[in-house]
């Protein structure tokens, strides 16, 4: 019992502090009472985790880091973002990590419409994964933010690790920190503290979360993929470009010769085809503006960064110039176009259409079968 229990609250989360039950909210080990600020164990871990987890890597260092997993007995958790599946999948992962098993965790499923068919989505993911030459032991759909999917994730980690260390890998902004914060809460050996170690011969920081059997969950630095719109824009736009709740699909009936602008970040031209509808899955923070194709260049020149936002003018000008991606939605086929980090457009009919996507140079534009 804490003598002054009634008065003591965690300065982090406000929970009533207690020393009896390490699994209950507000738990604080006796030794931590002497420290300032007085915070519960969970807040302590999150605070220190966040301080340690902000490291990011470029492609070369990242591949080097992955390569060093090959010689270890590891379970690799690869986190991808369902909002940008193709943009967040680590190309060639299998080649670098040797024979270690991969558990694929697809995060942010809370962004999909509530009526989504989860089995269909899981099948879709598995098909994409196969096409990318990746072998996974299981695909798990989760929302780190909403705490969904952990009832399967935690048993799966136990099932597949078999005395291995668990390495968590992913691109930046997929929600790796959010997910690991959950794991720290749900999983970690409560006596242990987080530690930071380094790969031999490098300065790469790894955050280790000890497990009960002496092994660890190891958080690796995120890779910055410059083919994602989110990485090309200054950080302050993340909030408007990444959706923060279930997306509301926006349906546009278009005639050929019409254009949609997605803020001043990309443009969709319907060049040729019968009148048909297109559905945009994007953050509500992206202004979608419809115009005539013949007016589009002029409209962009006059209104980028004003009517067409985000971003604002000076940040539009800092983006790479646009490249055109001609796309033929084939007759009889279902087509969807992903603009990495920005969202996707589903072609609803199968009558066929000639389209052109304009996006800043380097941004990945992928054609796929519809996710939903
Ligand atoms: P990291 O760079 O991979 O560590 O990603 P963070 O954990 O910092 O998350 C990046 C962004 O995605 C933040 O804006 C998070 O709030 C958001 N995010 C993380 N997990 C989820 C999730 O499950 N659902 C949604 N909607 N957003 C998430």
CATH of the domain at 177: 3.40.50.300
**Cα of 20 from ligand 1 centre, angstroms:** 33
Are 137 and 48 members of one domain? no
Name the helix (H) or strand (E) containing 315: helix 313-318
* Same domain for 160 and 33: no
Classify residue 232: in a domain, yes or no.
Answer: no
| Closest atom, ligand 1, to C-alpha of 172 | 2
Which residue's CA lies nearest to atom 17 of ligand 1?
175
Within-domain flag for 231: no
pLDDT at 204 over 90: no
Same domain, 40 and 106: no
Q: Which residue has the tokens 């019409």?
A: 258
Statement to judge: residues 50 and 84 lie in one domain = no
State whether 192 and 78 are in the same domain. Answer: yes
**Which of 5-14, 48-57, 65-74, 282-291 tops mean pLDDT?**
282-291
For ligand 1, mutation pick of 173, 238, 282 (most atoms within 8 Å of CB): 173
What's the pLDDT at 7?
64
Task: Please identify, among 225, 248, 280, the residue that sits at the C-terminal boundary of a domain.
Answer: 225
Cα 176 to averaged position of ligand 1 atoms, centre (Å) = 7
Tokens coding 208: 């280790």
Q: Please determine, for residue 249, whether its predicted confidence score (pLDDT) is greater than 70.
A: yes
User: What tokens does 119 get?
Assistant: 């089995």
The pLDDT value recorded for residue 190 is 42
Q: What residues form DSSP beta bridges with 270?
A: 258, 355
Has residue 11 been placed in a domain?
A: yes
pLDDT tier at 202, thresholds 50, 70, 90: very low
Average pLDDT (261-288) is 97
For 140-157, what is the mean pLDDT?
A: 94
Percent of residues, the chain, with pLDDT higher than 70: 91
Write the pLDDT tens digit of every residue in 170-197: 998 899 988 888 887 776 544 455 555 5
The CA 138 to ligand 1 mean position distance, Å, reads 22
Is the pLDDT assigned to residue 359 strictly greater than 80?
yes
If one residue of 62, 116, 153, 178 were mutated to test the ligand 1 pocket, choosing by the most ligand atoms within 8 A of its CB, it would be 178
Q: Is 220 in the pocket of ligand 1 (CB under 6 A)?
A: no
Average pLDDT over every residue of 326-336 = 95
In a domain, 230, yes or no: no
8 Å CB contact between 207 and 219: yes
Under 8 Å between Cβ of 80 and 104: yes
Count how many domains the chain has.
3
């Amino acid at each position: 019992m804490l003598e002054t229990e009634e008065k003591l609250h965690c300065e982090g989360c406000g929970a009533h502090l207690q020393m009896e039950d390490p699994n209950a909210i507000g738990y604080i080990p006796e030794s931590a009472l002497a420290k300032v600020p007085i915070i519960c164990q969970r807040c302590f871990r999150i605070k220190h985790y966040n301080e340690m987890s902000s490291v990011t890597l470029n492609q070369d260092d990242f591949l080097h880091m992955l390569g060093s997993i090959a010689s270890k007995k590891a379970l690799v958790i690869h986190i991808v973002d369902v909002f940008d599946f193709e943009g967040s999948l680590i190309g060639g992962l299998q080649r670098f990590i040797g024979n270690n098993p991969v558990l694929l965790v697809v995060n942010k499923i809370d962004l999909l419409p509530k009526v989504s068919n989860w089995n269909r989505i899981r099948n879709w993911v598995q098909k994409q994964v196969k096409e990318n030459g990746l072998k996974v032991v299981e695909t798990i759909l989760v929302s780190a933010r909403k705490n969904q999917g952990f009832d399967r994730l935690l048993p799966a980690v136990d099932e597949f690790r078999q005395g291995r260390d668990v390495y968590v890998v992913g691109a930046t902004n997929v929600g790796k920190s959010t997910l690991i914060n959950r794991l720290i809460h749900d999983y970690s050996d409560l006596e242990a503290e987080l530690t930071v170690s380094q790969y031999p011969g490098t300065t790469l920081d790894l955050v280790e979360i000890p497990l009960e059997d002496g092994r660890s969950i190891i958080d690796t630095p995120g890779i910055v993929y410059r083919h994602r719109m989110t990485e090309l824009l200054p950080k302050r736009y993340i909030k408007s470009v990444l959706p923060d709740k279930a997306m509301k699909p926006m349906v546009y009936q278009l005639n050929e010769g019409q254009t949609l602008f997605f803020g001043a970040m990309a443009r969709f031209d319907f060049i040729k085809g019968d009148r048909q509808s297109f559905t945009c899955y994007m953050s509500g923070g992206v202004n979608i503006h419809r115009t005539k194709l013949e007016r589009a260049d002029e409209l962009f020149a006059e209104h980028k960064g004003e009517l067409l936002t985000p971003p604002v003018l000076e940040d539009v000008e800092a983006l790479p110039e646009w490249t055109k991606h001609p796309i033929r939605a084939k007759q009889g086929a279902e087509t969807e176009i992903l603009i990495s980090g920005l969202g996707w457009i589903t072609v609803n009919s199968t009558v066929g259409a000639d389209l052109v996507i304009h996006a800043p140079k380097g941004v990945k534009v992928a054609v796929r079968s519809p996710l939903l």
